[in-house]
């Protein structure tokens, strides 16, 4: 049998991989490297020739790259049929599992688990099986495999059957729903998700809270964890990378441009998100509006700099949400704006250098998700801030577990409470603000991405 084993000793599996391709006008392919914690976490093993990252082909360029056999060493993209991928990714992963774990359903009308759902669920199984088979094919005997996130919950169980010799881990980057919410899923599906994940030797979560919720689901629905171990790894910000990157020339240029948009002498309340339902951007804008309405002394003296980058635009609810964010920003600007002052500066085009520029000059960072696995923006801002920044943080973000003591903590549904928190943040004495930023930065960088990943590998081996 040994001859059928692959060569990779450490494998990662995720829907979104570290690289993507675009077809250029002349037909050639250009590669783009993605950012994010997982990518920098895996740079820890990137140099290792025995490591392999298995991911989906997501764009036409990606599919073309697979067909042409173009690719990076250490990355294998799976060309799953586009309709199967769409059902699994848009349908099940992003419209069902993401909604369950972030508790996003408006329950009088949703969810409805009908024949369409069952069809999509079958695609989700097919898509998970494609990953399990590729991993089984590539893994050396006794290799370690770390499967990422809610897209791939069935992979550990499937892979265990194909390759009992492997050490299998799974890591969740999202919250986990409490049992009474998780049980909205049809019983057999809820069981399949849990049993799929429990095929792993070890499951990782970002916080104790999400780990406990998973455990509670497992106890209620499948009678416990069996032999699977659970660990908590609070992914931190990559201080070295951020400090260096945030002082490069393109970031400095954007600081100048942003300062011009904000206007001299004004304070900046900054937020940076994917335009994501769980990020609570709309209530954040309402809170800012309430601040201007209830405390007129802030008019002309503060600007809300909101970056809301496009995300999951195949889904109508995301498109509608994006439109609502834009509408509301315009409404606030026409209600309160003056010839020399634009109260909300909204940018929707993704630009990492500009995000870093905003982090550096922010007086206040608003991170108010309804629910969030961690939220790395909350961790990145204090690291790169030039003169200290007050963090207004939702108690429903995973980052609250580590940063709650030095942030101003809000209930994300409470718009008036959030407006009061913004006022408190804007009036905090500079000395206290600097002290808190220092402590936030230390807590935020306690577990850098590379260490986060190596810890999981060590725990899987132990």
Binding site for ligand G6P (CB under 6 A): 16, 149, 173-174, 311-312
**Secondary structure (DSSP) of 17-66:** -SEEEEE-TTS-EEEEE--SHHHHHHHHHHT-TTEEEEEE--SHHHHHHH
* CA 14 to chain CA mean position, Å: 13
Q: Toward ligand G6P, which CB reaches closer, 232 or 293?
A: 232
User: Shortest Cβ distance from residue 34 to ligand G6P (Å)?
Assistant: 9
Which is closer to ligand G6P, CB of 16 or CB of 347?
Answer: 16
Nearest residue to 213 via CA among 173, 174, 178: 178
- Please say which residue, 311 or 326, places its beta carbon nearer to ligand G6P: 311
Task: Count CB-CB contacts under 10 A for residue 267.
Answer: 17
Beta strands in 198-266, from DSSP E residues, in sequence order = 202-205, 229-232
Closest contact distance (angstroms) between CB of 16 and ligand G6P is 4
User: Cis before residue 111, ω within 30 degrees of 0?
Assistant: yes
Q: Taking a C-beta distance cutoff of 8 angstroms, is the pair 222, 327 a contact?
A: no
Q: Which is nearer to ligand G6P, 174 or 342 (CB)?
A: 174
| Shortest distance, position 315 Cβ to ligand G6P, whole Å | 10
Q: For ligand G6P, give the closer residue by CB, 269 or 444.
A: 444
Task: Quote the least distance from Cβ 210 to ligand G6P, whole Å.
Answer: 12
In the bound state with ligand G6P, the residue whose beta carbon lies nearer, of 231 and 337, is 231
Q: For residue 425, give Cα distances in angstroms to 132, 270, 389.
A: 48, 12, 9
Cα–Cα distances (Å) from 242 to 37, 238, 353, in that order, read 11, 6, 11
CB of 174 to ligand G6P, least distance (A): 5
Query: CA-to-CA distance for 345 and 365, rounded, in angstroms?
Result: 14
Q: DSSP H helical segments within 139-238, as ranges?
A: 155-162, 179-182, 187-197, 208-222
In terms of CB distance, is 9 or 16 closer to ligand G6P?
A: 16
Min separation Cβ 301 and ligand G6P, Å: 35
In the bound complex, what is the minimum distance in angstroms from residue 207's beta carbon to ligand G6P? Answer: 14
Closer Cβ to ligand G6P, 59 or 311, answer by number: 311
Cβ nearer to ligand G6P, comparing 16 with 267: 16
Q: Report, in Å, the least distance between residue 279 CB and ligand G6P.
A: 11
Least distance (Å) from ligand G6P to the CB of residue 266?
A: 32
By C-beta, is 149 or 215 nearer to ligand G6P? 149
Please report, to the nearest 10 degrees, the dihedral formed by the alpha carbons of residues 145, 147, 152, 158 taken in order.
20
Structure tokens at 1: 């049998």
> Considering the complex, what minimum distance in angstroms separates the CB of residue 75 from ligand G6P?
15
- Helix 208-222 vs helix 187-197: crossing angle, to nearest 10: 120
Cα 235 to its chain centre, rounded Å, is: 11
Structure tokens at 156: 């550990």
What token pair was written down for 123? 């695609």
Q: Which is nearer to ligand G6P, 101 or 290 (CB)?
A: 101
Q: Which is nearer to ligand G6P, 24 or 313 (CB)?
A: 313
Distance in Å, CB of 400 to ligand G6P, minimum = 17
Chain position whose Cβ is nearest to ligand G6P: 173
> What whole-number distance in Å separates Cα of residue 20 and Cα of residue 358?
26
Whether the link from the prior residue into 318 is cis, omega within 30° of 0, is no
* Cα–Cα distance, 7 to 22 (Å, whole number): 29
The total of other beta-carbon atoms located within 10 Å of residue 3's CB is 4
Least Cβ distance, residue 374 to ligand G6P (angstroms): 9
Spatial contact of 155 and 196, defined as CB atoms under 8 Å apart: yes
Integer angstrom CA distances of residue 189 from 111, 275, 283:
14, 29, 33
- Cβ atoms 160, 168 nearer than 8 A: yes
């Amino acid at each position: 049998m040994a001859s059928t084993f692959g060569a990779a000793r450490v494998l990662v599996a995720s829907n979104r991989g570290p690289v993507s391709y675009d077809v250029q006008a002349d037909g050639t392919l250009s590669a783009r490297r993605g950012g994010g914690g997982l990518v920098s976490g895996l740079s820890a093993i990137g140099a290792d020739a025995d490591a392999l990252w298995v991911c989906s082909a997501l764009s036409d360029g990606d599919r073309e790259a697979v067909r042409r056999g173009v690719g990076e060493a250490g990355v294998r993209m799976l060309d799953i049929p586009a309709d199967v991928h769409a059902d699994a990714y848009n349908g099940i992963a992003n419209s069902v599992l993401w909604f369950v774990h972030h508790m996003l359903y408006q329950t009088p009308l949703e969810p409805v688990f009908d024949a369409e759902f069952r069809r999509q669920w079958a695609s989700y199984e097919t898509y998970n099986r494609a990953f399990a088979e590729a991993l089984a094919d590539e893994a050396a005997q006794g290799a370690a495999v770390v499967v990422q996130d809610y897209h791939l919950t069935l992979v550990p169980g499937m892979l265990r059957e194909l390759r009992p010799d492997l050490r299998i881990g799974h890591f969740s980057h999202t919250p986990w729903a409490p049992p009474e919410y998780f049980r909205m899923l049809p019983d057999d599906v809820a069981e399949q998700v849990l049993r799929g994940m429990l095929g792993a030797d070890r499951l990782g979560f970002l916080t104790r809270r999400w780990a406990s919720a998973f455990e509670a689901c497992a106890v209620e629905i499948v009678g416990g964890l069996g032999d699977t171990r659970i660990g908590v790894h609070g992914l931190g910000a990559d201080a070295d990378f951020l400090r260096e990157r945030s002082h490069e020339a393109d970031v400095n240029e954007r600081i100048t441009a942003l300062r011009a948009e904000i206007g001299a002498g004004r304070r900046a309340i900054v937020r940076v998100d994917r335009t994501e339902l769980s990020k609570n951007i709309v209530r954040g804008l309402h809170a800012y509006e309430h601040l201007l309405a209830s405390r007129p002394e802030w008019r002309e003296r503060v600007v809300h700099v909101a970056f809301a980058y496009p995300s999951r635009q195949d889904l109508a609810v995301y498109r509608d949400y994006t439109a609502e964010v834009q509408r509301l920003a315009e409404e606030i600007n026409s209600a309160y704006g003056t010839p020399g002052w634009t109260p909300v500066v909204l940018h929707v085009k993704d630009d990492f250098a500009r995000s870093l520029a905003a982090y550096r000059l922010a007086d206040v960072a608003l991170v108010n998700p309804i629910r969030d696995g961690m939220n790395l923006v909350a961790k990145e801002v204090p690291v790169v801030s030039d003169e200290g920044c007050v963090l207004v943080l939702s108690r429903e973000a995973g980052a609250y577990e580590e940063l709650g003591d030095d942030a101003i903590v809000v209930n994300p549904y409470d718009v008036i409470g959030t407006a009061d928190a913004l006022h408190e943040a804007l009036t905090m004495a500079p000395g206290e603000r600097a002290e808190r930023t220092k402590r936030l930065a230390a807590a935020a960088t306690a577990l850098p991405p590379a260490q986060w990943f190596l810890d999981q590998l060590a725990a899987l081996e132990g």
